[in-house]
Structure 1
Amino acid sequence: MADRDLLRTALDLPVLTERLCLRAYREDDLGNVFRLRSNPEVVAMLYGDPMTREEAPEALARYMTPPVLEADGDELKIAVERREDGAYLGNLKLQLLSREHLQGEIGYVFDPRHQGRGYAVEAARKALELGFAHFGMHRISAHCDVRNIASWKLMEKLRMRREAHYREKEFFKGAWAEDFVYAILRREWASREDSPAGTISA
């Protein structure tokens, strides 16, 4: 384990990209969380029903856990806002699936009103960079419903590789659902033209 472990287990937020601020969730994000997770269009491809106002405080409390990845299953929930005006755009998930094997997973949920401008790609690209360059993960995966075309096209823009197509994997909201699984290795990410030079090794 000593020669194959995470580089770090904690993350200092906020983290900035060209247009975005990736920050920790705060108490005043209650309305943001409710608006996003109560939107039927957003929840259509997520587990569960649209969030009620009564459920929002508990969800926010889960999002406000410390930005630490130490044990299998630990995850960071990161709020994404636009630097220009502070508008809340959505959130990122970066999860540690296996510390022993340095496996991680990313996820993202964005407000449909802000889609089509490249914000999700910019944020997810930074999530991969954090997973590889900051935490030292070896492989990062992502998955989505086959019908969620915008999501799997985003993964392909990140040069992630489609590794699996699970057919009729589960009975989801009244129909048999299928999933795509995508992934990328650290060395593949390091060889990309837009990868920060010298920050990670294969």
Structure 2
Amino acid sequence: MDLLAALPLRTPRLTLRPFTPEDTDAMHAYQRLPEVARYLYRPPRTRAECAATIAVAPAWERDGDRLLLAVCPARPAPGVPALAGEVSVNLRDTRARQAEIGWSLHPGAAGHGYATEAARALAAFAFTTLDAHRLHARVDTENTPSVRVCERLGMRREAHLVENDLREGEWGSEFVYGLLAREFGEK
């Protein structure tokens, strides 16, 4: 499948497009922040790590392939950067058509509904174009904004994993949310 031919995705307020090397500094502007990395199960990224992330070509054929898209508001609100964040869908099990969806926003873009709008558009794309059967999201239990995004998408909480991740010497817990293709848009 030629993923690039199906992109960008557009919503009433956003364009979701593949990252380019020119986006490295804009991605690094939020990925370097401890408050962003806190819920991503990894430390803040360096500029070089952002460049390496952007350099991975979108693919959707084998377990581990992914589609990473820049979230760009058509008319950013005051204080919102032109590159507001990212959404991704990762192919976890090719045979069972299982994928993991995720999002990360610049703190200046929070509170505008961009994460929900972008995740909804990517979920629709995953179910219709990528033929995903099931999407899941892993969310830190303390990440209330992401929990709300999952709920707005109609995802159900399927698991509560207690102290399953160790970050900087502290245990963290996570929720796992899931949604089947046939359930998408029901609520």
Which of the pair has more CA radius of gyration?
A: 1
Question: What amino acid is aligned across from residue 171 of structure 1 in structure 2?
Answer: L
1:108-128 Cα offsets, whole Å, 9 max, x none, are: 000111111111100000111
TM-score, length-scaled by structure 1: 0.84
List per-residue Cα deviations over 1:27-56 (Å, max 9, x = no partner). 210111110111121112123322333444
RMSD of Structure 2 on Structure 1 (CA): 1.7
**Paired residue for 1:198?**
none
* Letter of the structure 1 residue corresponding to residue 18 of structure 2: A
Query: Shift of residue 133 of structure 1?
Result: 1.0
Contact kept? 1:9, 1:70, Cα under 8 Å: no
Cα distance in structure 1, aligned partners of 2:51 and 2:108: 23
Instruction: Report what 1:57 is aligned to.
Output: 51
Of 48-57 and 168-177, more deviation after overlay is shown by 48-57
What TM-score do you get using the length of structure 2 for normalisation? 0.90
Q: Which residue of 2 aligns with 1:196?
A: none
In structure 2, the residue matched to 1:82 is: 73
Distance, in Å, in 2 between the alignment partners of 1:48 and 1:136 is 29
Task: Provide structure 2 residue ranges, at least 5 long, that are not aligned to the other structure.
Answer: none
For the residue of structure 2 that corresponds to 1:50, the secondary structure is coil
Would you say how many aligned residue pairs link Structure 1 and Structure 2? Answer: 182
Runs of 4+ in 1 over 6 A off after TM superposition: none
Q: Deviations along 1:117-162, whole A, 9 cap, x unmatched? A: 1111000001110111111111110011111111111100111000
Distance 2:160 2:144 in 1: 14
Q: Does 1:73 align with 2:56?
A: no
Query: Structure 2: how far apart are the matches of 1:131 and 1:73?
Result: 15
Query: Which residue is 2:17 aligned to?
Result: 23
Q: More displaced, 166-175 or 102-111?
A: 166-175
Structure 1: runs of 5 or more not aligned? 1-7, 194-202
Percent of pairs with identical residues = 37
Equivalences for residues 130-169 of structure 1 within 5 A: 130-169=125-164
Residue 149 of structure 2: SS of its match in structure 1?
helix
2:33 matched to 1:42?
no
**Does residue 182 of structure 2 align to residue 187 of structure 1?**
yes
Secondary structure of 2:166's counterpart equals strand
In the alignment, the residues of structure 1 paired with residue 94 and residue 47 of structure 2 have an alpha-carbon distance, to the nearest angstrom, of 36
The answer on 1:172 being equivalent to 2:154 is no
Q: Secondary structure at the match of 1:144?
A: strand
Whole-Å separation in 2 of the counterparts to 1:156 and 1:95:
20
Partner SS state of residue 3, structure 2: coil
Counterpart of 2:98 in structure 1 is 103
Is the partner of 2:84 in helix, strand or coil?
strand
Distance 1:161 1:171 in 2: 25
Per-residue Cα deviation, 1:55-93 (whole angstroms, up to 9, x for no partner): 44323323xx1x320011101111110112581110011
Conservation of the 8 A alpha-carbon contact between 1:71 and 1:96 = yes
Question: Which whole-Å CA distance do the structure 2 matches of 1:98 and 1:177 have between them?
Answer: 25
